[in-house]
Amino acid sequence: MMLSIAHRGASGYEPGNTLLAIRKALELDADIIELDVQLTKDRKLVVCHDQKVWVGYKYLSITHHTLETVQMIRLAKNQHIPSLREALDLINKKAAVNIELKDRRSAAPVCRLINEYVSKKRWGYRHFIVSSFIKDELLRIKKLSPRIRIGLLYNKPTRNLSAAIKQYKPYSVHLHFVAVTRDMVRELHEQGIKVFVWTVNSMRLIDRMRDYRVDGVFSDYPDRI
């Protein structure tokens, strides 16, 4: 079975990385919900793709403002930027969560939050995958909490995948669809690594990924998978 991964929530239907998009992904029975995570000035984790957000007349930098200020920003459909806690509480184990670290300082607070949800709120480590293009942050996650599953994220073909797998010992590799080949999927599976592919919206490509036997596909339309 190929898992459906709702990219930024069901972002083809609702504004990405908002509670509306998460709710829609749950309604559509996504297996995993992918969320981008940034850190505010007061070191709170928020769900947002970009570090800078357009507020109508200028860009506001999340890093330079507190959670309170960041949450005053109005997005499309009158949505606010959710804290990661709000997002997790809404998901409430009805789907797993792929937290994508977008900030270089986010490994430690993300580990703390995951460990809190596991120890106090009956979540399991199986409910989380932490991925990032910033490989150092993933190493920090591994050091701080070896039980948290990490996903190596790539945006173009890489020739050093084997070396990276030895170094990071990931649970999964997250590849852009242009970079995936059938052989690559087979080789990764032989090493026990899951293959997730982003971001696949067309039925033709989704079918091709199924044919390649990838483990999961990120899509803005998780109901297509």
b vs e for 163-193, b when ≥16 Cβ sit within 10 Å of the residue's Cβ?
ebbeebebbbbbbbbeebeeebbeebeeeeb
- Token pair of 197 as six digits: 């592919």
Q: Which of 13, 128, 177, 198 binds ligand G3P (CB under 6 A)?
A: 198
Q: Which is nearer to ligand G3P, 100 or 137 (CB)?
A: 100
Identified binder of ligand G3P from the candidate list 13, 22, 36, 127, rule CB under 6 A: 36
DSSP H or E segment with residue 183: helix 182-190
DSSP run (H or E) holding 77: none
Nearer to ligand G3P, 123 or 177 (CB): 177
Beta pairing, strands 172-176 & 194-198 = parallel
Site string for ligand G3P, 145-184 (x = CB under 6 A): --------x--------------------x----------
Distances (CA, A) of 40 to 45, 88, 89, 109: 7, 18, 19, 11
Position 36 contacts Ca ion (CB under 5 A): yes
Q: 59 and 31 in contact (C-beta within 8 Å)?
A: no
What the block records as the tokens of 88 is 């997790």
Closest CB 175 distance from ligand G3P, rounded Å: 9
Applying CB under 6 A, among 3, 22, 26, 34 the residue interacting with ligand G3P is: 34
The only residue of 24, 46, 100, 110 in contact with Ca ion, by rule CB under 5 A: 100
Tell me the residue number closest to ligand G3P, measured at CB: 198
Binding footprint of Ca ion on the chain (CB under 5 A): 36, 100
Binding footprint of ligand G3P on the chain (CB under 6 A): 7, 34, 36, 49, 100, 131, 153, 174, 198-199, 218
